[in-house]
């Protein structure tokens, strides 16, 4: 790596402190329905396991999203336009971003944001060598927290926020609206949001997407306990917990849990956390939308859905949203 590349791959570091991780874990495990924030799945191993999930037959989401993007890339690019500053929330390994960067005419800058620091550094370095003229300003952060966005050197004509993967599905309805509202303010006047949204479908398809045959999703879910053991001095016995994911049709969401297989006491440092047999830790929600519901959510957050691309079966959608002018000027 030459010094120019090194400079371009400096991470703006707002990675959550261990203290904060500990506090959130403790608060979650003290609730009547125990829960853990899904953002903590993504340590090095978790990010790797998520990449494995993305190659599974049952996990249709990334495959469909990529197919939709590739089919409509010309139209997408025309809407995004030249000299845009692209900001991505939860960029992961940037597979989908590359489709955009391969086609975008003269982007001003790219700001990838992710909580997984090591992966972010690696991916940013790879992008720096793939796109030599592009300013890349990576940010390691929990993007639901307050952090400062870097100001790219080159002035841009507009800000495009990219939020693929249906990660919006991890937010409960009110936080989802609040987060989209925040994105609208980041977009600024004339800005836009390109977002991937997973759609309601046959519940058996959904069930298998989160209960794969090879048990990769189970390993991904259980890795959270391993991470807590390692980083927060925990003693979760992984054999005593079981991955359990199901579609909750009333709430239109997949719920992922870890179910305690016996009465047991888990320690976190010198704290004791009791579990009853069959009690669960709720580790993730993944909401599924229909197009009208999402349109309403977007409108409530100050966005107008300008374009929806989807597949024949309407399993997944990529949507282009612009700020409604009466709002958030």
166 makes contact with ligand AVJ (CB under 6 A):
yes
Judged by CB under 6 A, the stretch of 27-35, 114-122, 152-160, 162-170 that binds ligand AVJ is 162-170
210 makes contact with ligand AVJ (CB under 6 A):
yes
Do 283 and 259 meet the contact criterion of CB atoms below 8 Å apart? no
Closer by beta carbon to ligand AVJ, 47 or else 124: 47
Q: For ligand AVJ, which residue of 9, 93, 119, 167 counts as binding (CB under 6 A)?
A: 167
Judged by CB under 6 A, the stretch of 19-27, 153-161, 167-175, 229-237 that binds ligand AVJ is 167-175
DSSP of 82-145: SSEEEEEES-TT-HHHHHHHHH-SS--EEEEEES-HHHHHHHHHHHHHHSTT-EE--EEE-TTS
Closer by beta carbon to ligand AVJ, 85 or else 100: 100
Q: For ligand AVJ, which residue of 47, 260, 280, 286 counts as binding (CB under 6 A)?
A: 286
Per the rule left: phi > 0, alpha: psi between -120 and 50, beta: everything else, 236 is beta
In SS3 terms, 198-244 reads as EECCCHHHHHHHCCCCCCHHHHHHHHHHHHHHHHCCECCCHHHEEEE
Dihedral over alpha carbons 57, 119, 16, 112 (to 10 degrees): -90
- Minimum Å gap between C-beta 210 and ligand AVJ is 5
Query: Would you call 6 helix, strand, or coil by DSSP?
Result: helix
- Here's the x/- map for ligand AVJ, 45-74, by CB under 6 A: it reads as --------x-------x-------------
Judged by CB under 6 A, the stretch of 115-123, 163-171, 181-189, 228-236 that binds ligand AVJ is 163-171
CA distance 119 to 240: 30
* Footprint of ligand AVJ on 91-130 (CB under 6 A): none
Residues at the interface with ligand AVJ (CB under 6 A): 53, 61, 165-167, 169-170, 210, 217, 284, 286
């Amino acid at each position: 790596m030459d010094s120019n590349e090194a400079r371009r791959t400096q991470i703006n570091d707002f990675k959550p402190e261990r203290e904060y991780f500990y506090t959130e874990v403790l608060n979650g495990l003290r609730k009547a329905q125990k829960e853990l924030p899904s953002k903590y799945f993504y340590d090095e191993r978790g990010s790797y396991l998520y990449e494995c999930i993305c190659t599974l037959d049952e996990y249709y989401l990334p495959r469909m999203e990529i197919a939709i993007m590739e089919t409509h890339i010309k139209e997408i690019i025309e809407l995004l336009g030249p000299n845009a500053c692209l900001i991505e929330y939860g960029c992961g390994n940037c597979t989908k971003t590359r489709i955009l960067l391969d086609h975008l005419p003269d982007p001003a800058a790219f700001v990838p944001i992710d909580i997984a620091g090591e992966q972010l550094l690696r991916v940013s370095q790879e992008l720096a060598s793939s796109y030599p003229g592009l300013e890349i300003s990576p940010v390691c952060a929990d993007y639901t927290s307050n952090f400062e966005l870097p100001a790219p050197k080159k002035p841009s004509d507009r800000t495009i926020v990219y939020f693929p993967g249906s990660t919006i599905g991890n937010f409960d309805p009110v936080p989802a609206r609040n987060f989209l509202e925040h994105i609208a303010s980041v977009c600024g006047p004339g800005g836009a949001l390109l977002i991937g949204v997973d759609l309601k479908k046959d519940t058996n398809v959904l069930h298998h997407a989160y209960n794969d045959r090879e048990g990769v999703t189970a390993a991904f879910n259980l890795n959270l306990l391993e991470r807590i053991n390692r980083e927060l001095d925990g003693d979760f016995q992984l054999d005593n917990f079981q991955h359990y994911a199901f579609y909750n049709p009333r709430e239109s969401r997949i719920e992922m849990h870890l179910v305690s297989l016996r009465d047991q006491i888990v320690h976190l440092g010198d704290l004791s956390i009791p579990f009853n047999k069959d009690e669960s830790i709720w580790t993730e929600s993944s909401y599924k939308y229909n197009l009208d519901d999402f349109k309403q959510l977007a409108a409530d957050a100050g966005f107008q859905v300008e374009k929806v691309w989807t597949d024949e079966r309407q399993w997944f959608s990529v949507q282009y949203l612009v700020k409604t002018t009466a709002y958030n000027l």
